Chains A and B, each alone.
Chain A
Amino acid sequence: MRMNWPRVITLVALGFGVLACRENITAPAQCPDFCPPERITVVDTILSGIVTGDSSFRGYAVAEDAPVFQLVSEGSVVETRGITRFRPFAEFSVSGGDTLVSVDSIRVTVDVLRRDTMVQDLEVVLYRIPATVDSATTYADLDPYFQDSTRLTTFAVDDSLTGSLEIDFPASLYPGIGPDSTQATIGWALRAPAETFLDLTTGESGQFPLIARHITVLSAIGDTVSTLIGGEFADFDTFVARSGAPLADSLLVVGGVPSARTILRFNLPARIRDSSDILKATLVLIPSSPAAAASGDGGTLRALAVTRDVGQKSPRGEVINFVPGSGAVAVLGGATDTVFLDVTNIMATWTADSILPTTLFLSAAPEAGRMFELRFFSSRTVDAPLLSLSYVPPFLERR
C-alpha cells in the first residue's frame, strides 16, 4: 500500500498538537545547587530603640461605665467596695379590698460573672449608704457607712454558685424603705478566708442588678398573703479601690481603675516600612513591677491600631484582620515575666498602607472593670520596649 505522507504528517502534527496543550514543568528543587538565584530572605531581628515616643494617660474608661464591677476581698492590696444605687420604688398599689400589712424584707439580685473557685466560704456584706454617692466618691468616703451599724446583712455565698446572687435582708434594717416611695443605695464588700474576688454585672452589661420587696397583704376575704413585688433596676453602679498608684513618667501604665492606656509611637526603618512582608512582630515589654490584680485573677493586654495619631485622643480601631492569638495576651496577677504581645497584623497594615501612623495603643480588657494594672519600663529607661520582628524585605536576594 502506498503511504500517504501528507496525511501521516498531519496526524503526527495533530498528535503533538494535542500534547502541546498540556504542560508540566513543576519539579522538585535540589537546593542550593540547582535552585533559582532569587530567593525569599527572612530577616529575624530584635529592634531596640524603635519606640521613639511613649506615654500613658489615665481616664479612658471609668468604673461606672464598665460592664462589670469587681469586688476584691477585704484585706487585699487592691481591696474594693461596690456601690449600687437603685431607682426609686414606685408607690404601693394594692388591689381593691386588700390591705398592706407589712414590708417584710428586701431582696437584692445580681449576676456573678466570674469567681475564683479555689477560694471558698465567701461572704458578701451589704451596707446601707447614702443616695448622694456619685462618681467622685472614694473608698475613704465610704468608711463611715461600712460599719456594723449600717450593715444590712452578711450573705454566705454558696461554694458552687455560678449564677445569680439573691440576698435578702429585713426591711427594718433599711428604715427608709417602706410603704412610701424611696430609694435604696447599697454598699458591697467581700469577705473571705483568703484574698479573692467576685466579678458582678452592672447595668452597662444589660444584666441590671435588681431590688425588690417582700410584703404581706391581708386580702378582702381575710387571708394573709406574702408576695415579692416592685423590682427596680440599678441606675448607678460602680466600685472604688482602696489605693491607686499615680502615673510615673518613666513608666508605662495599662489598665487600673479608672483605666490607663499607653500610646507607643514607632520609628520603623524605611527598609521595613516600604513593602516588606511582616511574618511575625512581637512587642517585648519589660514589667517594672508585678502585674497588679486581685488574687487569682488577671487580665488581657491588647494592642489597638489607630487610623490617625492625635495623641491621647486618637481614635482607636480594632485589630484589622484579627486572628486568634494576635494582638492580645493574657497576664496573670503577680506575674513579673516579660510580656510578649503579638502585633503582627497591626504592623502588616503599616507596611501595606504608608499613610497609617505607626502608632498603637496598649489597653487592658475589660477596661475599668477589674483591678488589673500593668506597668512597664518606658523608652526613657534602659529596659525600653523592644520589637522582635521577622520580615521579608521587598527585594529578593540574588544568590
Chain B
Amino acid sequence: MVGRWVVIVAAVVTLPPPAVAQTSVYSVLGLGYPGRAIGVRTRAMGGGLAALDPGSALNPGAVAAYRQLSASATSTSSFRDYEVDDISATGLLDTRFAYASLGGPFGATPFAFGLTFGTYLDRTYDVVDAGDVIISGDTVPYNEQISSDGAVIDLRGAVAWQALSTLRIGAAIHILSGTTENEFFRDFADSALAPLRREDRVSFNGVGGSVGVMWDAKPYLRLGASARFNGSMRVKLTEDVEFGRTDLPREFSGGVFFAPVPDLRVASTVIWRSWSRSRSGLAASTTLNAFDTFEVGNGLEILGITGFPLRLGFRWAQLPYSPTAEQPREINLSFGTGIGLASGRTTIEFALERVMRDGGGAKERAWLVSFELRVTP
C-alpha cells in the first residue's frame, strides 16, 4: 500500500511543466546545446552505459535487450551559475521533462521495439542586455530582453532483432522536430520612442537514421556500436518562410560493458559527432566556430552493499560551438541509485551530477538532479 502511494507521489512531482530542454549558457550558440537522450541510470554512470542501454536513444541494437514492456519518464532540475568575461549569473534554476522511453519485445519473437523522446538541441534562454543604437542620427541607449523557449526534439522509433543468442542488431528512424517561441523586447531610454516587441516562432524539421549492434563477447563482456546519419534540418519562420537548411552531424559510437564479478559493473561509451558540418547552415556573418565533438563516459555500478545499487560516473565531452578558437568542454561527475517498488514493477531512479563547462570565454557550473519513473506493467 505504501509503495503504491510512493509511486503516485513520485510520479506527480517528477512530472514538471511540459518543456523539453536543459538550459546552458552555451544554448545561445549555433544550433543550441546538444541534449542527452539517455535514462537516469545511464546518467548516474556518466553516460558509460549509453551505447548498451535499451532505454537510451543511442544504439538501436540495444533495444533487443528489452525483456518486457517498459515505460519511463525523466525530469531533470538544473541549478546553475556562470561567468562570461566580467558578467556573472548565479541562482539560475529550471526543471524540464528531459526524456521518455517506451520499449519491449514483440511477444515471443526475437524482435523488439523502442520509442524514445528526448532533447536533441536545447534552444532555451532568456537574456537581458543593454546597448545603444543610432536613431535619426542620435545615439539612444536601450535595454533589451531576448528569450527563446523550446528545443529540437529527437523522436526515435527503433526495431531490433536478436539475431543470435549473443548478437543483437537494430535500426531506427529519427524524426527531428521542434519549435522555439522567441520574444524580443527593447525599451529605449528616449521615452518618445515606443518600446519594441517582436515575437516569432521558428520551427525545425529533419530526419535521420541509425543502425546499431550489440554483441555479448563473453558472459561478463558486452560490446556495442552504432552509427547515425542525419539529413539536413530545415529552419522555418512562423509563416512557413524557410530561411535555412543546416547539415546535422554524423555520429559514431562504441561502448563496452564489463562485469568482472556479479556485483560490480563497469561501462564506458565513446561518441564522435561531426558537428562542424552544421557550420554551413549558420549565418555567414557569424564569427561562431563549429567543431566536431568527442565524448567519453565511464561508469561504475556496485550492487550488494546497501541493498540499493550505487552508481558513479565520470564524463568528459566537447561542445560543438564556440565564439572563439577554443572548443568548450564539459565534465560531469555523477552519483546515483534506484529503488524498486510495487514488487519490482516500478522503479525510481535518481542521479545527481556536478557539471563543469568551460571554454570559449565562459565558465559554467551546475548541479543536475534527475529522477526517472520506470514502469513495467
- Give A residues with C-beta under 8 Å from B: 5-7, 9-10, 12-14, 16-20, 22-40, 42, 44, 277, 279-280, 282, 323, 325-326, 348, 388, 390, 392, 395-399
Contacts and interface: CB of A to CB of B under 8 A. Distances in A.
Contact of A277 (B196, B348, B350): B196
Nearest to B123: A36
B182 A38 contact: yes
Contact of A395 (B85, B194, B237): B237
Contact of B93 (A5, A19, A34): A19
Nearest to A26: B126
Given A5-B339, A36-B148, A396-B184, A29 B127 contact: yes
Q: How large is the interface on B (under 10, 10 to 19, 20 to 34, 35 or more residues)?
A: 35 or more
Contact of A34 (B16, B28, B339): B28
A23 B10 CA distance: 20
Interface string B192-225: 1110101010000000000000000000000000
B3 A23 contact: no
B12 A17 contact: yes
B219 to A, nearest CB: 31
Among the interface residues A20, A39, A325, A348, which one has the most CB atoms of the partner chain B within 10 A? A20
Contacts of A16: 13-14, 77, 95, 369, 371
B238 to A, nearest CB: 11
A10 B10 contact: yes
B93 A22 contact: yes
Contacts of B134: 42, 44, 390
A32 B146 CA distance: 13
A28 B87 contact: yes
Contacts of B316: none
Interface string B274-314: 00000000110111100000000000000000001000000
B14 A25 contact: no
Nearest to B180: A38
A42 B133 contact: yes
Given A6-B341, A390-B136, A399-B286, A36 B2 contact: no
Contacts of B127: 26-29, 35-36
Contacts, number: 182
B164 interface: no
Given A9-B339, A34-B323, A279 B135 contact: yes
B286 A13 contact: no
Contacts of B29: 34, 37
9 contacts: A5-B308, A6-B339, A19-B93, A25-B126, A28-B87, A30-B362, A36-B148, A37-B282, A44-B134
Contacts of A396: 182, 184, 198, 200
3 closest pairs, A vs B, by CB? A17-B13, A29-B127, A27-B89
A398 B315 CA distance: 33
Given A29-B129, A34-B362, A390-B134, 17 more contacts: A9-B348, A10-B9, A18-B13, A20-B75, A20-B77, A27-B128, A29-B87, A33-B84, A34-B84, A35-B146, A42-B135, A279-B196, A280-B135, A280-B136, A280-B192, A348-B194, A399-B285
B264 interface: no
Contacts of A34: 25, 28-29, 84, 323, 361-362
Nearest to B31: A37
Nearest to B237: A395
B324 interface: yes
B215 to A, nearest CB: 36
Interface of B: 2-3, 5-6, 9-10, 12-14, 16-17, 23, 25, 28-30, 75, 77, 82, 84-85, 87, 89, 91-95, 124-129, 131, 133-137, 144-148, 182, 184, 186, 188, 192-194, 196, 198, 200, 237, 241, 243-244, 282-283, 285-288, 308, 323-324, 339, 341, 348, 350, 360-362, 369, 371
Nearest to A45: B136
Contact of B91 (A14, A24, A30): A24
A277 B194 CA distance: 10
A28 B144 contact: no
A325 B192 contact: yes
Nearest to B308: A5
Contact of B28 (A24, A37, A279): A37
A395 to B, nearest CB: 7
A396 B283 CA distance: 12
Nearest to A394: B198
Contacts of B200: 396
Given A6-B2, A40-B186, A29 B237 contact: no
A35 B129 contact: yes
Contacts of A397: 283
Contacts of B9: 10, 13-14
Among the interface residues A22, A24, A37, A282, which one has the most CB atoms of the partner chain B within 10 A? A37
Nearest to B134: A44
B113 to A, nearest CB: 29
A17 B14 contact: yes
A23 B285 contact: no
Contacts of B17: 20, 23
A395 B6 contact: no
A36 B82 CA distance: 16
Contacts of A17: 12-14, 16
